Every structure is written in structure tokens, then in C-alpha cells.
């Protein structure tokens, strides 16, 4: 599948077989000022910031209410200890806070190493505004040798602008 972004309107055209790639996220059915967005990803395709309008963003000046990581398949690696950090970056790659949603202490090997675990984030952005720039979700691993694992990230935020 190929995705082509129209330069004037920012509309995505799809060519070939269309599969979904939920690592770019999407807004869940939200009513009122509390919105909910979800991203799905696996160990070999962690979300990174893209200089595009394709990914779901947390809007500028939004306040993060909560961040939860649902471990669908246990994360394993060839090293003894692995953890994940989850944060936000601007689409040009400028950091907002690289572990502002889930810190390495939140998503340590004990938490992400068991399928079915729900990890609650306590990063610096939880309970606070993300600032004057919209943020794309980024996920990083402390080890480059991940073998397995998949998860869903659910972020609730308040945005009433």
C-alpha cells in the first residue's frame, strides 16, 4: 500500500491494498470536552513523530487526564531488562516530553512482560497541559533487541477550544 499526501489540502490518497496501521492512532468516540485517543503498536514498529498530518495528535493546550498502556502480548528481549517510555513530540521531531505519558519506571520489564497488564502512566504531562504545540505519540525502548510484544496506548485528554 502507498499513501500519498496531497500538498495543498493535506488529504491522503491510498493506492494498492489498504491495510490499517493503528500505530498512527485515532480518536475514539468521545462526547464532551474529555476526548480519548488510542494507538496500537508492536515491538518492531514503535510510534515515532512524522512530519505529516497523518498521525493522531494531542492538540495544543490540551490537558492530559490519563495515559494507560494495555499489554496485548508480552514484551521480551534478548537482554535481561527492557522498559518502554511514552511521550510526545512535535511533528518536526522537537521534543515536548519524551517520557511525559509513561516513564521507564511505569513501563518496566515487570509491567510490560506480562500480557493483559494495564500500566497507568504517571509522566510529567499527566494532569498537565502539553503546551502550545500539538503532540504526536512516541514510544521508545531501552533495548534495541526486542523479540516480541504488542500494546495499545489509550490517552484521555481535555480539549474544549
- pLDDT tens column, 24-71: 787 777 778 899 999 999 999 999 989 888 889 999 999 999 999 999
Please determine, for residue 73, whether its predicted confidence score (pLDDT) is greater than 90: yes
Identify the domain containing residue 74 by its residue range: 26-158
Confidence grade of residue 90 (pLDDT, cut at 50, 70, 90): very high
**Torsion angles phi and psi, residue 103, rounded to 5:** -90, 170
Confidence grade of residue 16 (pLDDT, cut at 50, 70, 90): low
Calpha distance 16→2 (Å, rounded): 7
Residue at 74 is within a domain: yes
Number of domains in the chain: 1
The average confidence (pLDDT) of the chain is: 88
Residue at 3 is within a domain: no
Q: Are 102 and 117 in contact (CB under 8 A)?
A: no
Please determine, for residue 127, whether its predicted confidence score (pLDDT) is greater than 60: yes
CB neighbours of 27 closer than 8 A, spacing ≥ 6? Answer: 35, 36, 37, 56
Residue at 95 is within a domain: yes
User: Which of 23 and 123 is assigned the larger pLDDT?
Assistant: 123
Residue at 31 is within a domain: yes
Residue at 20 is within a domain: no
Residue at 78 is within a domain: yes
Quote the pLDDT of residue 3.
Answer: 63
Residue at 9 is within a domain: no
Amino acid at each position: 500500500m502507498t499513501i500519498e499526501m496531497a500538498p495543498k489540502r493535506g488529504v491522503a490518497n491510498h493506492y494498492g491494498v489498504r491495510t490499517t496501521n493503528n500505530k498512527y492512532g485515532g480518536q475514539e468516540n468521545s462526547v464532551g470536552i474529555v476526548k480519548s485517543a488510542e494507538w496500537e503498536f508492536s515491538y518492531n514498529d514503535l510510534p515515532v513523530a512524522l512530519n505529516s498530518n497523518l498521525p493522531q495528535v494531542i492538540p495544543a493546550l490540551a490537558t492530559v487526564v490519563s495515559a494507560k498502556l494495555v499489554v496485548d502480548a508480552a514484551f521480551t528481549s534478548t537482554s535481561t531488562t527492557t522498559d518502554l517510555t511514552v511521550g510526545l513530540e512535535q511533528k518536526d521531531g522537537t521534543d515536548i516530553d519524551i517520557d511525559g505519558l509513561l516513564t521507564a519506571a511505569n513501563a518496566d520489564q515487570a509491567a510490560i512482560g506480562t500480557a493483559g497488564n494495564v500500566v497507568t502512566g504517571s509522566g510529567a504531562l499527566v494532569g498537565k497541559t502539553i503546551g502550545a504545540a500539538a503532540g504526536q505519540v512516541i514510544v521508545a525502548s531501552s533495548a534495541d533487541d526486542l523479540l516480541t510484544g504488542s500494546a495499545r496506548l489509550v490517552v484521555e485528554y481535555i480539549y474544549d477550544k
